[in-house]
Amino acid sequence: MLSQDGPNASACRSIPAKLAPIRCVLLCLAAVPALVAACSHDGAQSSSVDASPPTDSSVPTADDAESDASSCAILFGNPNTATGLGPDQCRPECACGGSVFAPPGYSAAFIQSLGTAWELAAPYPPFTSDPYASPAPPADPAGTVCAVLAEGDAGQVPRPYALVTYPTEDAAHDAGAAVTHFGHCGVCSTLANLAVYMQQNDLTAPVRACGLATSTDGGNPDVTCLEQLGFDLPCAQAWAFDTENTRSVCLGVCLANVSAPYNVDGGALNPCLQCDEDQSGPVFQAVAGRTRRNSGLPNAICRPCSQVQPLVHDY
């Protein structure tokens, strides 16, 4: 994938993972996908003939294995005071498996261009029913990506584009499309919604405030508030449906953990976020498409590198 600053900065692809959404819970904390084990590695095998350390630098040593395990233990994210972890436990880079992925700091001009220089040719329609009324569909086949396929003239502003789901990165590149996240496209996959994710390192407080909003005109105050954060209507609806579902099934555990940091016990999600992930995550991911982890974006809730897709955005 191309870097923001130049055409030849490839993102590492050695960290496999699925990604799921980051959302907020009414009266509690933002919701995020379930914590999975950090990537594991086979230890170096010593020779049965010579027990001394190998002299070939290409052969992994015990020290190499220990260093690699230490790298995998560091989570991916951009912690703040609400995270519960410090930079020794979580940082905006992944070095697990010998490859390093460190997403760039996207400039304000680049982020703004996502909403002003591009326009989705066929916008998603608003929801007319609750997606949580039906079970989540099966997970995507491994390698599935959502990509931006430019349309019209290169000089047109805003330039129209289509969001297309491809079976692999190579298929997207062969079609002339730029991968924007891993997994299928959904209502939050647009470049305008990507700009919101890039702007907000921690959506917990503003999205929680939206969940508490009230209305005097009979509308949906949560959706209206989420639109004011920058989300388009379908993506705002997806977040609002997620909040409502989590409130209905996780309210007790979330009230009990309303003051808990996002990450506890050395990196696990707090019980409220875990409940949201288990109960609301699959449907949200199915309808939203984009999450920050499947878009290669760090945020205030830290995750194992095995859950992060290394992706650098350039459109």
Nearest to 292 by CA among 20, 52, 58: 20
pLDDT at 34 over 90: no
What pLDDT, on the 0 to 100 scale, is given for residue 3?
A: 37
pLDDT band at 266 (very low <50, low <70, confident <90, very high): confident
Q: Return d(Cα 135, Cα 24) in angstroms, integer.
A: 20
Which pTM value belongs to this model? 0.78
User: Which tokens hold the place of 182?
Assistant: 């891993």
pLDDT band at 217 (very low <50, low <70, confident <90, very high): low
Least confident of 16-20, 64-68, 148-152, 170-174: 16-20
Residue 179 CA, distance from chain mean position: 14
Q: Quote the number of domains for the chain.
A: 1
Find out whether the peptide bond into 261 is cis, omega within 30 degrees of 0.
Answer: no
SS (H, E, C) the chain: CCCCCCCCCCCCCCCCCCCCCCEECCCCCEECCCCCCCCCCCCCCCCCCCCCCCCCCCCCCHHHHHHHHHHHHCEECCCCCCCCCCCCCEECCECHHHCCECCCCCCHHHHHHHHHCEEECCCCCCCCCCHHHCCCCCCCCCCCEEEEEECCCCCCCCEEEEEEEECCHHHHHHCCCEEEEECCCCCCCCHHHHHHHHHCCCCHHHHHHHHCCCCCCCCCHHHHHHHHCCCCHHHHHHHHHHHHHHHHHHHHHHHHCCCCCCEECCCEECHHHHHHHHHHHHHHHHHHCCCCHHHCCCCCCCECHHHCCCCCCCC
**Amino acid residing at 295:** S
Beta-ladder partners of 148: 163, 178
Q: Is residue 46 part of a domain?
A: no
Q: Is residue 85 part of a domain?
A: yes
Q: Is residue 151 part of a domain?
A: yes
User: What tens digit of pLDDT does each residue of 10-24 get?
Assistant: 333 333 333 333 333
CA atoms within 13 A on the CB side of 213: 23
Q: Is residue 45 part of a domain?
A: no
Token pair 């909040």 is at which residue? 243
Give the Å distances, CA to CA, from 215 to 197, 207, 236.
26, 16, 16
Q: Is residue 89 part of a domain?
A: yes
Q: Return d(Cα 145, Cα 152) in angstroms, integer.
A: 23
Kind of pairing between the strands at 90-91 and 118-120: unpaired
What pLDDT, on the 0 to 100 scale, is given for residue 206?
A: 83
Length of the chain, in residues: 315
Q: Mean pLDDT in the chain?
A: 81
Q: Return d(Cα 91, Cα 103) in angstroms, integer.
A: 11
What pLDDT, on the 0 to 100 scale, is given for residue 265?
A: 85
What pLDDT, on the 0 to 100 scale, is given for residue 208?
A: 76
CB 139 within 8 A of CB 184: no
Q: Is residue 313 part of a domain?
A: no
Nearest to 265 by CA among 111, 85, 102, 122: 85
What pLDDT, on the 0 to 100 scale, is given for residue 70?
A: 66
Q: Is residue 3 part of a domain?
A: no
- pLDDT over 90 for what percent of the chain? 69
Beta-ladder partners of 164: 147
Q: Is residue 158 part of a domain?
A: yes
Boundaries of domain holding 205: 23-40+60-307
User: Which tokens hold the place of 274?
Assistant: 């875990």
Beta-ladder partners of 166: 145
